[in-house]
Amino acid sequence: MAPKAIIAPSILSADFAQLGADCVRTMEQGADWLHVDIMDGHFVPNITFGAPVVAKVRKHVDKPTGKYGRGTFDCHMMIAEPKKWVREFQKAGCDLYCFHYEAAFSSAAESPEAKTDAKTSPKELIRYIHDLGLLAGIALKPMTGVEVLTDILESADEKERPDMVLIMTVEPGFGGQKFMASELPKVQALREKYPELNIEVDGGLGPATIGQAADAGANVIVAGSAVFGAQDPAQVISVLRDTVNQKSGRL
């Protein structure tokens, strides 16, 4: 049986003029996590916000009391040099630091100011994130094959294995894009091979597409405009959760 459904509304679709209040309201409406999209204008063409904004929002939302708990800040790091920013986001209140596989062969520097010619790797970066007390996620863009994760997910060292895999169902960089069902075979392959793995999908998710994602085996659902733009966000969150749990046999 797949892990339980986790609904993680993307705050990229919230009202930035009242971001803290919007995040509190979304949690009250039934969200489990908050998905925090960090974009640097290099790895992706768009720019969102950084650690100072995350720290301000953290003051409005209680930290989770346990692993994968309610209130988890799921920080999706669409940035070119992810290792440089782990400590900054840890201090800001991040709980799960999810970097892109495609960016994980970059600088091994451990702060934004530091410089080094040394390069990190996905396993080294996951270990580093775990050593700092955070959960680690690894994300794949649509053009990246899921087979690149096999060696990482099957590492003999638990500290080198991610807590979650994120399969992008749009090209990362902008909200409101059309759902790419072509990416769901990646989710299915992962679920068949790793039944207990948290598998997240992000991009174009809502009531019209959740059935396909749930059928493939996704259990962590990111939805932005489908939640924040809904007439009844609580009802949308409930539909997303119930669909996932029904497909996995939990309901």
Catalytic residues: 37, 202
In this structure, the chain runs to a length of 251
Here the tokens at position 94 are: 């991040």
Residues with Cβ within 8 Å of 66's Cβ and at least 6 positions away in sequence, in order, are: none
Task: Give the residue from 48, 30, 52 showing the smallest Cα distance to 38.
Answer: 48
Beta strands in the chain (DSSP E): 6-9, 33-39, 72-78, 96-100, 135-140, 164-168, 198-202, 220-223
Q: Could you tell me if 108 and 119 are in contact, meaning their C-beta atoms sit under 8 angstroms apart?
A: yes
Helix axes 51-58, 19-28, angle to 10 degrees: 50
Q: Give the Å distances, CA to CA, from 168 to 24, 100, 179, 181.
A: 26, 10, 9, 10
According to DSSP, the β-strands at 220-223 and 198-202 are parallel
DSSP for 154-176 reads T-SSGGGS-SEEEEESS-TT-SS
